[in-house]
Amino acid sequence: MDEDFDMPPPEEMMNEDELDLPDESHLFKVGEEKEIGKQGLKKKLVTEGEGWDTPENGDEVEVHYTGTLLDGTKFDSSRDRGEPFKFKLGQVNYEARLEDGSVVSKSEGVEFTVREDGFGEKGRPASGAEAAIPPNATLQINLELVSWKTVTDVTDDKKVTKKVLKEGEGYEKPNDGAVVKVKIIGKLQDGTVFIKKGHDNEEELFEFKTDEEQVIDGLDRAVMTMKKGEVALVIVAPEHGFGSSESQQELAVVPPNSTLYYEIELVSFEKDKESWDMNTEEKIEAARKKKEEGNALFKVGKYSRASKRYEKAVKFIEYDSSFGEEEKKQAKTLKAACNLNNAACKLKLKDYKQTEKLCTKVLEIESTNVKALYRRAQAYIQLADLDLAEIDIKKALEIDPNNR
């Protein structure tokens, strides 16, 4: 833009309702007690914690706790055992009925009061140093959150999980086509190491380009969720690993159907150039390159990966307001070709709704495109919209009656 605009001071740019502030609905003052959840669980703040971050269900947490009855009798304590109690938030046990009050920040000390359904009508007998808990006893649990590790599902099918062992820097993460350098140790379930790179002084870091099938799918996708300096444990099910085939790796053979355990440190990465960093000529060339990559992948039956290439190609040229007339023509032709080829991918993947949408986009650009009409008709047949399929087939025949 050539114009200069007078910008208001930051505090005048949005009102209080628009500010992106932390949710303070869970805040307590020291000594204050509130009832939380729907099961009569009470929470009292004993000491303030650090920062705003709190664990979520699925995260692995470490807590110190002491459990007492109302008369002060201690029935359990992690402090007496000398080490924090570890569990996955959301488990069903009395320590983690904290799920209702899990908005606890690091080092925060709280006291939970669990009403008479704590151990139910049977109570709990004494065991070793642990005192008995009478039937229907009200429990008080003094708890301090020591630490937690974020656990996330990398894939929608939850067959690749990532546990953060050390937080990374900033917010940037590798994109498709980024060159990444990592320290990596890969193990089988029995502890056998099958790959180790970057951990000894003489060893080079393990380098690969994302989204290029240079590593297994689970590892590829996990690394793209990481930040520079982050260390994570990544668990990859066979479906996103080496599958049902045996694989000879650097240090050992990976048997068929193996679950893989990787400890990864993302040392550095260089992102692939994004569209906003390109001029118009570069955008068209990048779109053309992605289209060619998609065509090559389609020919060898890698329809899902081909589809991603076509989608990325379209993104490079989606907004053409800065293009010249000739560039707009090229972009228009490329968009139609990529959407049409992507529709062919979606047909192979049996995603008929997306096939219909992509063909419609092509027809908005080229209303007489016979292939788009035919592929949309195929999608309509699978979606049981036979009348619409007939309309498209008849129109295609009118345009090209000799098309076999």
- CATH fold of 33-148, please? Chitinase A; domain 3 (3.10.50)
Per-residue model confidence (pLDDT) at position 26: 47
Phi, psi torsion values for 290, nearest 5 degrees: -65, -35
Second CATH level (architecture) for the domain 275-399:
Alpha Horseshoe (1.25)
Q: What is the pLDDT of residue 378?
A: 96
- Nearest-CA neighbor of 278 among 246, 323, 233? 323
- In this structure, which topology does domain 152-270 adopt according to CATH? Chitinase A; domain 3 (3.10.50)
pLDDT for 58 equals 75
User: How confident is residue 136, by pLDDT bands cut at 50, 70 and 90?
Assistant: confident
Grade residue 235 by pLDDT with cuts at 50, 70 and 90.
very high
Angle at 402 between CA 398 and CA 404, to 5 degrees: 110
Domain spans, the chain: 33-148, 152-270, 275-399
Q: How far is CA 112 from CA 49, 52, 136, 141, in A?
A: 16, 20, 16, 5
pTM here is 0.67
- Tokens, residue 258: 């193996």
pLDDT tens sequence across 139-180: 878 777 787 788 889 999 999 999 999 999 999 999 989 999
CA distances from 289 to 279, 316, 336, 338, 404 (A): 15, 11, 15, 11, 31
Least confident stretch, 58-67, 369-378, 383-392: 58-67
The pLDDT value given to residue 257? 96
Both tokens of residue 205?
Answer: 């870091």
Give per-residue pLDDT as tens, 265-275: 999 999 988 88
Query: Could you tell me if 196 and 184 are in contact, meaning their C-beta atoms sit under 8 angstroms apart?
Result: yes
Question: What confidence category does residue 14 fall into, taking pLDDT thresholds of 50, 70 and 90?
Answer: very low
Does the fold of domain 275-399 match that of domain 152-270?
no
SS3 state of residue 33 = strand
Q: Is 144 exposed, middle or buried (0-12, 13-18, 19+ CB in 10 A)?
A: buried
Q: What pLDDT does 293 receive?
A: 93
